[in-house]
Every structure is written in C-alpha cells, then in structure tokens.
C-alpha cells in the first residue's frame, strides 16, 4: 500500500476530496486502484505491482487549484509526505523540460532559471526535515508556490522562442483559427459573428443529431449549414463520424451495445451516408473522436482498433483526397484508471500510427472548467509538455477543441482554479497564453475554440467568446487580434520583408500571463 501524509499549512486537513484523484504507473499511464483519506493519510491500494505516482487536485499558494502528480514511488511501511513528493515531481519535470527545450543557459531564460534555483533550495530544506513532516510540508509548499508559476513561465519563454522562429520563417499554415458551430442554431446574427471571426468552421455532425431515430435521417439543418458556409467560402471541418459518448450515440443504438458486428455494420452505413452527402464540401473529417475512452460499449482493444481502421479506410475510399483526423479527447487519460475496456490515449495514438492506418492528423482537446475527466484544471506547463508527446508520432496536430470559462460557479469551481476565479479578463489571458504555446509548436497546424456563444448547451458554463446576446467578450477581441497578427505574417511572405513579421510578433507573443 502507498501512504501519503497530507498537510495544509502544517496541519492535516479534516477532509480531502479524492474524486478527481488517480494513480499513475510507468510512461504516465494511469493504473487502477482504490484511494481513501483516513486519519490525515491518503491510502492507495493499487492493482498492478511496481512503483506508482498519485495525481490529485492540489491548492498551490497564490496560483490556483490544479492537478499535480507525485514522483513514482515504491510501497513501504512508512508514509510519504505528499507535499514533498508533489514538489519533487514538479522540480524533476521542470529540470527535464528546461533541458529538452534548451533553456539551461540562454539569456531569455535567466529569470526562470533563478526561480528554479530558489525552489530547489526550498526542496532541499524540505528533504532535510523529513523527520518533522509538518515542517517539511511547509518548505515543500513554498517550493511549489515558486516552481509552478516558474514552470508556466518556462513554457511561455520556450513558446516565445519557437514562435519567433516560426514567424521569421513565415511557417504559419493557412486557416489556423477555427470556431465550432452550434448546428441547432440557424439565426443570421449568430452565423455572421461566426463567419467573421473564424478562418474555418468546425461543424459538429454527431450520429445522434444526424439520425435521432433509426432510419430517420435529419439532413435539413446540416444541409442548410453546409450551404451557408459554402456561400461564405469558409472551409468546413466536420464530424465526429464515430464518437461513443452519451451526447453522440443515438438512443436506439444501445440495444446493440454488446453486439460488435451489428454496431460495426450500422457505423459503416452511417459513415457512408454522411460522407457521400457532404464529402465534396468538407476539407477535414473528424472521423473518430475519443474512441480510446470507450465509456459506453464493451468492445475489446482489437475491436476498437478494427473500428479505427474501418472508419478511416472507408472515408478515404469514398473521398480519396479527404483529410482525416483521429481526435484524442482526454489526453491525460484519467478515464483509464476506472475503465478497463478503454485504451490509454498515447498507446491508442501510437497503435494508430504503427498499424499503418491511413489517417492524416491528430486532434487533441484542451478544455477546462468542467468537473469531469478531461476537464480538471492543468497549468500551461503541463499542456505544453503533453502536446510535445505528439511530436514524436510524425503526424500533424490540430488542437481540435480548446476552451475555458469566463464565469466562476460552484459547479466549475470543483474543476480547479487557474490563478484566480474565472472572469472575462482571465478567460482572455488564458486564451492568449495557450494560443501562443499552440502556435509555437511547429507540428501544430490549427486550433478551434469550442464555444462561440455562451449557452447552457455548450461544453462549459460561460465558455463562449460572445455572451448569449452576441456581445463580444475580451476573449473575442484577443482572438481577433491574434488572427490579424498571424494573417500579417502570412501576407508578409508574399508582400513584405521580414521586418513586417516582427511587428506581428509583438502582438502575438505576450510577456506574461498575469
């Protein structure tokens, strides 16, 4: 059993919410186990043998409440001090990424390197006082209070260096900024706002929306949207064609939830019908979304990979020049600690590549502010490091859904806190900072904001760039400013010297995200 003593301000808390918590084994793969908080200790009974880490929601002083991970530890009779192990892991990760990103001895990183040294001294103090766990925890808390903001700033320094390089080489692809449409809306005011703000539109086409009743195809709303976007001359990304979530699975399909062959046949017919109807108008198909989560069917690993191959191959057969995407919906894989039928996200991604499945792009969702797996708050350092893992797979990446709330409620407060309670200004700052990181990655080609307008039906409360009455928030102004800056760089490739790109860079890259 793994045991962790827990301290807040040197005292054991009376209660601790372990709802989001889970264990992690080698290669950052979540593992199954039971967690309980008893007498000031977290007790972890893990199923697999070997060292493991604990990931949980943690308050970092003057920063917020985010998911943090301990180092991987062997079982022992004495409990570990949770605060110290959280600090040790963050310092270890920060050291690794500073080296990976080449930031150990460059002038631009001098400030964050000094902060790292300060945090290291506090971690040493914590390690030297482990015989007094309460005192050690106080030093560890001070270490985290420096290390977490410093790691975020490290990610931003790295992003700025890469972004300057991408600007100088004018390497931005066409159509970077996408917005997800709400297919149930058809009012002109909403559509005009959408078309004006995006370089392409992601049009959700879930099976449940397209075929709410068996053999009853709901084509009219989608036909109308496709025709509108065609006339507006905006590229369309569409899908997902396959998505096993409550919001996407038709109710009538559940009767076949244990019959793989029947579900496969019905999916084949659905994909064929949708792609044949809309294929000539769609530039990117989100073919499979979150199949690795497998939360509603009892399919095996081999069956999930067979579905992946069948769906991609079918789209390619119907539209040979179609761009196809596999979307990773919960990239940290929290779900795998609870669902033995699922596949860890990176293992699924690696298998899709190694199996020779002929898809073109990975989509990755980065949405926070909803208290569920995939929505627990992470900091910018964690997001940047997660995206880097896809670079080795040799496929372009699209951040297929990104989002954060602009209001703080009791409901989304449970999902964590980034710096302070969410508001319009903080949403704008988060968008700016994350966009800089995304745009700096040479393997990332585009990003899509999840909700254009605040809506109860949206992916999160207050997640829109516009209020419900279509008034622009600060985040919309930031979105448009960044789009104009990147457009200026692209135009400079044809009309302007390199100096034109430098002016755009000053708009794209912020100094801080305070």
pLDDT tens digits, one per residue of 415-473? 999 999 999 999 999 999 999 999 999 999 999 999 999 987 766 889 999 999 999 99
Instruction: Express each pLDDT in 83-108 by its tens digit.
Output: 999 999 999 999 999 999 999 889 99
Report helix, strand or coil for 255. Answer: helix
Percentage of the chain surpassing pLDDT 70?
95
**pLDDT recorded at residue 298:** 82
3-state SS string for 104-160: CCCHHHHHHHHHHHHHHHHHHHHHHCCCCHHHHHHHHHHHHHHHHHHHHHHHHHHHH
**pLDDT recorded at residue 458:** 64
**pLDDT recorded at residue 498:** 34
**What is the CB neighbour count within 10 angstroms for residue 52?**
22
**pLDDT recorded at residue 105:** 86
Kindly list the domain boundaries of the chain, sorted by start residue.
2-166, 199-359, 365-442+452-514
Residue closest to 178 by CA, chosen among 155, 199, 205: 199
**pLDDT recorded at residue 99:** 95
DSSP symbols for 257-311? TT-HHHHHHHHHHHHHHHHHHHGGG-SEEEEEESTTT--S----HHHHHHHHHHH
Residue closest to 447 by CA, chosen among 483, 495, 471: 483
Report helix, strand or coil for 94. Answer: helix
**pLDDT recorded at residue 297:** 84
What's the rounded Cα separation, in Å, for the pair 138 and 163?
38
Instruction: Express each pLDDT in 48-89 by its tens digit.
Output: 889 999 999 999 999 999 999 999 999 999 999 999 999 999
Report helix, strand or coil for 79. Answer: coil
- The answer to whether the CB of 500 falls within 8 A of the CB of 478 is no
**pLDDT recorded at residue 492:** 77
CATH of 199-359, one of 3.40.50.1390, 3.50.50.60, 3.30.70.3270, 3.20.20.80: 3.20.20.80
Query: Considering the entire predicted model, what is its pTM?
Result: 0.93
**pLDDT recorded at residue 495:** 36
| Contacts with 270 (C-beta within 8 Å, 6 or more apart), sequence order | 207, 210, 211, 241
Tens of pLDDT along the chain (514 residues) come to: 999 999 999 999 999 999 999 999 988 899 999 999 999 999 999 988 899 999 999 999 999 999 999 999 999 999 999 999 999 999 999 999 999 999 988 999 999 999 999 999 999 999 999 999 999 999 999 999 999 999 999 999 999 999 999 888 888 888 999 999 999 898 999 999 999 999 999 999 999 999 999 889 989 999 999 999 999 999 999 999 999 988 899 999 988 888 899 999 999 999 999 999 999 999 999 999 999 998 788 899 999 999 999 999 999 999 999 999 999 999 999 999 998 889 999 999 999 999 999 999 999 999 998 888 889 999 999 999 999 999 999 999 999 999 999 999 888 888 999 999 999 999 999 999 999 999 999 999 999 999 999 987 766 889 999 999 999 999 999 999 999 999 998 887 443 333 333 333 333 333 333 3
What's the rounded Cα separation, in Å, for the pair 122 and 140?
7
- List, in sequence order, every beta strand (DSSP E) within 172-240: 177-180, 200-204, 236-239
The runs of H, that is alpha helices, within 18-81 are none
Residue closest to 444 by CA, chosen among 48, 122, 97, 173: 173
What's the rounded Cα separation, in Å, for the pair 504 and 12?
51
């Amino acid at each position: 059993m793994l045991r962790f003593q827990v301290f807040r301000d040197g005292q054991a808390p009376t209660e601790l919410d372990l709802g989001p918590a889970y264990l992690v084994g080698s290669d950052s793969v979540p593992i199954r186990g039971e967690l309980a908080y008893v007498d000031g200790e977290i007790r972890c009974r893990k199923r697999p043998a070997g060292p493991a880490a604990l990931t949980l929601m943690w308050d970092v002083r003057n920063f917020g409440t985010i998911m943090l991970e301990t180092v991987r530890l062997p079982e022992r009779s004495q409990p570990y001090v949770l605060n110290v192990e959280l600090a040790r892991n963050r310092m270890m990760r920060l050291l690794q990424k500073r080296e990976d990103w080449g930031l150990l001895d460059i002038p631009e990183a001098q400030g964050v390197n000094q902060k790292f040294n300060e945090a290291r001294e506090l971690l040493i103090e914590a390690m030297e006082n482990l015989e007094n766990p309460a005192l050690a925890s106080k030093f560890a808390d001070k270490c985290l209070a420096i290390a977490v903001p410093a790691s975020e700033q490290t990610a931003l320094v790295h992003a700025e260096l890469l972004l300057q390089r991408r600007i100088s080489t004018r390497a931005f692809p066409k159509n970077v900024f996408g917005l997800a449409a709400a297919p149930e809306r058809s009012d002109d005011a909403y559509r005009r706002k959408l078309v004006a703000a995006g370089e392409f539109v992601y049009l959700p086409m879930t099976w449940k929306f397209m075929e709410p009743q068996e053999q009853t195809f709901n084509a009219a709303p989608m036909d109308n949207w496709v025709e509108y976007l065609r006339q507006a001359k905006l590229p369309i990304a569409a899908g997902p064609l396959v998505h096993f979530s409550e919001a996407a699975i038709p109710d009538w399909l559940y009767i076949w939830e244990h019959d793989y062959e029947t579900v496969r046949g019905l999916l084949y017919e659905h994909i064929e019908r949708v792609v044949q109807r809309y294929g000539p108008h769609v530039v990117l198909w989100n073919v499979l979304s979150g199949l690795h989560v497998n939360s509603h069917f009892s399919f095996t690993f081999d069956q999930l990979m067979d579905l992946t191959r069948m769906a991609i191959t079918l789209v390619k057969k119907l539209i040979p020049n179609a761009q196809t995407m596999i979307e990773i919906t919960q990239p940290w894989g929290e779900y795998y600690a609870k669902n033995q039928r699922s596949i860890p996200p990176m293992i699924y991604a690696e298998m899709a590549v190694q199996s020779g499945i002929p898809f073109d792009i990975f989509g990755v969702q980065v949405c926070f502010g909803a208290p569920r797996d995939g929505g627990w708050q992470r900091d910018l350092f964690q997001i940047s490091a997660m995206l880097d893992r896809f670079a080795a797979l040799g496929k372009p990446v699209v951040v297929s859904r990104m989002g954060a709330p602009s209001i703080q409620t009791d409901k989304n407060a449970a999902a964590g806190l980034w710096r302070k309670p969410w508001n319009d200004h903080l949403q704008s700052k988060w968008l700016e900072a994350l966009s800089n990181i995304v745009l700096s990655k040479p393997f990332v080609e585009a990003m899509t904001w999840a909700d254009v307008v605040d809506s109860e039906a949206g992916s999160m409360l207050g997640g829109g760039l516009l209020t419900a009455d279509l008034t622009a928030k600060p985040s919309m102004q930031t979105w448009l400013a960044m789009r104009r800056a990147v457009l200026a760089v692209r135009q400079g490739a044809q009309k302007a010297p390199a100096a034109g790109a430098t002016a755009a860079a000053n708009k794209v890259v912020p100094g801080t995200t305070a």
